[in-house]
Structure 1
Amino acid sequence: MSLVPENKWVKVGQKGAGPGPRSSHALAVVGDKVYCFGGELKPTIPIDNDLFVFDLKTQEWSVAPATGDAPFPCFGVSMVTIGTTIYVYGGRDEARKYNGLYSYDTVANKWESLTPVDEGLPGRSYHSMAGDDRKVYVFGGVCREGRVNTLHAYDVVDRKWVEYPAAGEACKGRGAPGLAVVKGKVWVLFGFDGEELDDIHCFDLASQKWTHVETTGDVPPARSVFPVVPYGKHIVIYGGEEEPHELMHMGAGKLTGDVYKLDTETLVWEKHVDVAGEEKPSPRGWCAFAFAVKDGEEGLLVHGGNSPTNERLDDLVFLGFSF
C-alpha cells in the first residue's frame, strides 16, 4: 500500500445539514448512502438519536426518514451493515443506561428493536462490531461490571444471539479494540484496559479456537479507539489513541494519524507513506468509520472524531485502496 501513489487521502465535500462535530459515533454504508448515528460533542453527553444519511454521489447530508422504535441518544455505539439493513448495538447515555440491539431497514426506513438489554447481551459501550453475510459480531466493550473479552454474534436469519468461547486470560477484557472478519476468522487488535494494549488475537470460526498472534514488519504502537476495515486478506487501521489523557475520557490523550495494513497470511505490517499533495487528515481517535466505495474506488471513509486539542471534528475523509 505504501508503494503506490493512488493510496492517498482526499477530503470529501459536505453539503446540507449533517451531523456536525462529534465523536464516539458510528458509520455504516449501504450502496451510495452513508449512515451516521450517535456520538458526543462534550464528553459523556450524547447529542441526539437522529440517523443522518450522506449521499456519496451528491455529497449532501440529510436526516433519514424513520419510523418504528429507534435507539435513544447515546455515545460509544457501533453499527454494521448486512445487505440493506443496518444493525446498531450498545452505546450509553450520561446515566449509564445502555441500548440493546436495533436494526434499521434502509428500504422501508424503519427502526426495529431486536433484543432489549435485559433480553440480549449485557449492555455496553466502546465495544467493537464487524459483520459477514449473516452474522453481526460483537467483541469486548465496557459494561457496568467493567471491561469484557467475550465474543458473541447475532444471527440475522435465525434472529438470535450466539455465544462463542471466551478469549481467555491471554486476551484481557478491553474497550475500543479493532475488530475485523477476514476469511472465516475474527481478528481482535489492540484496545484499552486502563492502558493502551498492543496485542492481537484471532478466533477461527470453524475450529472455535483462539490464537494469540505475533506479527512482524512495521508493527503499530499500542492504541485504542481507532478505525479498522478489512480489505481482501488485509486489515487496514488508521489513527487512534496511543497514550491516554490523565483525565481519561474527559481528555484527548496522545492521538496519531498514521495508517497501517496487516497481511493476515504473512502476518507482516506495512506503514502507509504520506503522498505528496494528499489531503491528509489530522490525528484523531473516537471517530466514525466504514468501508465504502467512492467514485468507483474502494477504501476507508472516516467522519469526525476527537482531536489532540480535545475539540470534536466534523470533516469527512476518504483513503482509497489500490494494493
Structure 2
Amino acid sequence: GQRPKPRYEHGATVLQDKMYIFGGNHNGRYLSDLQVLDLKSLTWSKVDAKLQAGTSDSAKTAQVSPCAGHSLISCGNKFFSVAGHTKDPSDSITVKEFDPHTCTWSIVKTYGKPPVSRGGQSVTLVGTTLVVFGGEDAKRCLLNDLHILDLETMTWDDVDAIGTPPAPRSDHVAACHADRYLLIFGGGSHATCFNDLHVLDLQTMEWSRPKQQGPIPSPRAGHAGATVGENWYIVGGGNNKSGVSETLVLNMSTLAWSVVSTVEGRVPLASEGMTLLYSNYSGEDYLISFGGYNGRYSNEVTGILLIIYMPGNRFQNFNLLFYSAGQVYALKLSVKLDLQSSTKDQPTSDSTSRVLEPEVEISQDGKIREIAMDNADSKNRNDEANEQLLAALKAEKDELEATLNREGLQTVQLKEEITEAEARNAELTKGTSSCPWATCR
C-alpha cells in the first residue's frame, strides 16, 4: 500500500490486529489523516474518517482537526485521542473517540473540571481510567499536574498526590505495573533532558524515587515505551545533541535496567517523537515502531528478531537477527526464564547461585517477594538451566585455555626479546668503556 507521509509526534495504537496512526507533525504542519497498517498482510491503507454529525466541530469541517503531541489509547473495540497541540487550541483537553466499525470520530462529552489543553503529556490506561501527567500547554508552559478520567462515567478527577512529584516536563514516557504503580521516566524541559524515574502509588497517591539497579539510562526526551508483561521497553528519544541509540528494558518488579540492543547511524530507531506498540500475533510478541524525527522525518519500517535468555530476570546471551520489512520497525520477543529450584536439599555451587535466581514480583503491600513454584516445574526448569550453565562453563573453559596458550607464547617471545636486548646492551656498554675520554665524561 501507499506509505503514510513521514511524521513525528503522532498518535498510534493497536486494535484488532491493526496499527492505527493518527495526526502528527511534518515540517511544522499538523496532520489530521488516519492511516492503518494491517499486521496480518502488512498492508497500509488510509481511513476516510468523518466527524459524527451533531458534534461541535461538524459545522466547521467534515474531518477532525489536525493535531500533534496527542495520545492514542485503545479500550475495548474503540480508541481515544487525548489532548495534543492544535492550530487553534481550546482552553481544556479534548477527548475524541474513534469507532472503526463506522469509521467515525466523535467528540466525547466529559464531566468535572478538565485539565488545560496540552501536548507531549503521557496518558496511561489503568483499569477503566486514563491517567494524564505533565506535558506543555499552548503557552509553552511545562506542567507536572496529575488528572484521571473515569471512562465509565467520563468524569475528570484532579488528583493532589503527596510526596515530591517529577519536575515539570513533556515528551516523557509512562507505564503502569500491577494495576497500581505509575512509572514516569525521562522527558525534557525547554533546555534540559531528564533520566529520572518516578513512581506513583495509585492506591496511596504518593510519589517516590525508588532505588534502581543496573546501568542508569542517559537523559532523553521524545522517546517511546511499551510494556510486555513486567518488562518496560524504551526506544529512541534525543538529548538535544543526537538521537539515542539504545533500546532499553526495565524490569518493573526489580527496577533493574538492561540494554537490549544498540543501533548505529542515523536510523529511525534513534529518533524523537516516534511511537512504540505491543502486539501479539500467532502466539508471538512484537514491538512495532513507526515514525520519528532525527534530522529528517521518517515513515520507514524495519524489524529485529530477538531471543532473550533471562537467568534471574537479567538479560544475558543475546542472539539478534535483523531483517528489513520496508516500513515499520518491529522487535520480536522470545523470552525464556531460568529460575532457581525451590528445593533446598539440592547442593548448589557459588557460580550456579549467582546465575539461577528466583523470580520475584511486587506484592500488594509494595514489597518484593519470591514467587513459589511447583516442585516438578521447578526441577524441569532447573535441569534445563543446569544444561545451559554447563555449556556456558565449557565454552568459558575452552576460551580460557586458548587465552592461556596465547599468553604462554607471548611470554616466550618476550623472554627472547629481553635476552637479545641484554646482549645488545652489553655490547654497547663495552664499546663505550673503550673510549679514551669516557672516564673524563
Q: Which residue of 1 aligns with 2:212?
A: 215
2:146 is aligned with 1:151: yes
- Name the structure 2 match of 1:11: none
In the alignment, does 2:180 pair up with 1:187?
no
Alignment-derived partner of residue 301 in structure 1? 288
Aligned partners of 2:236 and 2:274 also within 8 Å? no
Deviation digits for residues 239-275 of structure 1 (CA, Å, limit 9, x no counterpart):
111x22xxxxxxxx41113111111221110111459
- In structure 2, what is the equivalent of residue 165 of structure 1? 160
Distance in 2 (CA, whole Å) between partners of 1:298 and 1:166 is: 35
Provide closer, same or farther for how the CA distance between residues 201 and 274 of structure 1 changes in structure 2, counting only shifts above 3 A: closer
- Contact 1:233 1:264 (8 Å CA) reproduced: yes
Q: Could you tell me which amino acid in structure 1 is paired with residue 129 of structure 2?
A: K
1:110 partnered with 2:70: no
Q: By how many angstroms is 1:165 displaced? A: 2.4
Note the C-alpha offset of 1:94: 4.4
Query: Structure 1 counterpart of 2:293, which letter?
Result: N
Q: How many residues align?
A: 291
Aligned pairs (5 A) from 1:115-134: 115=109, 120-134=114-128
Structure number with greater Rg is 2
2:22 maps to which of 20, 29, 37 = 37
Task: Provide the C-alpha distance between the structure 1 equivalents of 2:102 and 2:211, rounded to a whole number of angstroms.
Answer: 45
Q: What does residue range 49-64 of structure 1 map to in structure 2 within 5 Å?
A: 49-64=32-47
Deviating more after overlay: 158-167 vs 117-126: 117-126
> Alpha-carbon deviation of 1:300?
1.7
Alignment partner for residue 255 of structure 2, among 267, 274, 277?
Answer: 267
* Structure 2 gap ranges (5+): 56-62, 301-327, 336-441
Q: Which amino acid aligns with 1:58?
A: S
Aligned to 2:378: none
How many Å apart are 1:93 and its aligned residue?
2.9
2:13 corresponds to: 28
Which amino acid in 1 is paired with 2:34?
Answer: L
Deviation at 1:132, TM superposition (A): 3.2
| Structure 2: distance between partners of 1:320 and 1:162 | 38
**Equivalent residue in structure 2 for 1:314, among 280, 291, 299:** 299
Query: Cα distance, 1:56 vs. partner?
Result: 0.5
Question: Does the aligned pair in 1 maintain the 2:268–2:298 contact within 8 Å?
Answer: no
| Secondary structure at 1:300 match in 2 | strand
Identify the match of residue 174 of structure 1 among 169, 178, 203: 169
SS in 2 for 1:236: strand
Among 270, 277, 285, the residue aligned to 1:290: 277
- Whether the aligned pair in 1 keeps the contact of 2:23 and 2:68 (CA below 8 Å) is yes
Task: Tell me what 2:371 maps to.
Answer: none
Partner Cα distance (2:25, 2:261) in 1: 32
Q: Aligned partners of 1:153, 1:85: CA distance in 2, in Å?
A: 19
CA 1:198–1:167: 2 relative to 1, 3 Å: farther
1:137 aligns with 2:135: no
The structure with more strand, counted as a fraction of residues: 1
Matches within 5 A, 1:82-121: 82-94=75-87, 100-115=94-109, 120-121=114-115
- 2:223 paired with 1:226: yes
1:250 maps to: none
Q: 1:162 to 1:116 in 2, by over 3 A?
A: closer
Q: Normalised by the size of structure 1, how large is the TM-score?
A: 0.83
What letter is aligned with 2:169?
R
Matching residue of 1:75:
68
Residue identity opposite 2:40 in structure 1? K
**For residue 426 of structure 2, what is the aligned residue in structure 1?**
none
TM-score, L = length of structure 2 = 0.62
Indicate if the aligned counterparts of 1:100 and 1:115 stay in contact, CA closer than 8 A: no
RMSD: 2.4
Q: What is the CA–CA distance in structure 2 between the aligned matches of 1:288 and 1:257, rounded to whole Å?
A: 15
Matches of 2:252 and 2:44, distance apart in 1: 36
Task: Point out where structure 1 has 5 or more consecutive residues left out of the alignment.
Answer: 1-15, 245-252
Amino acid at match of 2:135: G
Verify the 8 A CA contact 1:229 1:235 in the aligned structure 2.
yes
Give the helix-richer structure, 1 or 2: 2
Partner of 1:10: none
Deviations 1:157-189 (Å, cap 9, x if unpaired)?
A: 111112222476551110011111111211111
Verify the 8 A CA contact 1:190 1:224 in the aligned structure 2.
yes
CA contact (8 A) 2:97 2:105 kept: yes
| 8 Å contact kept, 1:149–1:166 | no
- Partners of 2:269 and 2:242 in 1: CA distance: 12
Q: CA deviation at 1:213?
A: 2.3
Contact 1:83 1:133 in 2 (8 A): no
Percent identical: 24
Q: 1:199 to 1:298 in 2, by over 3 A?
A: same
Paired residue for 2:193? 196
Contact 1:149 1:167 in 2 (8 A): no
Q: CA deviation at 1:214?
A: 2.6
**Which structure exhibits the higher relative contact order, with contacts defined as CA atoms closer than 8 Å and separated by 6 or more residues?**
1
How big is the shift at 1:83? 1.2
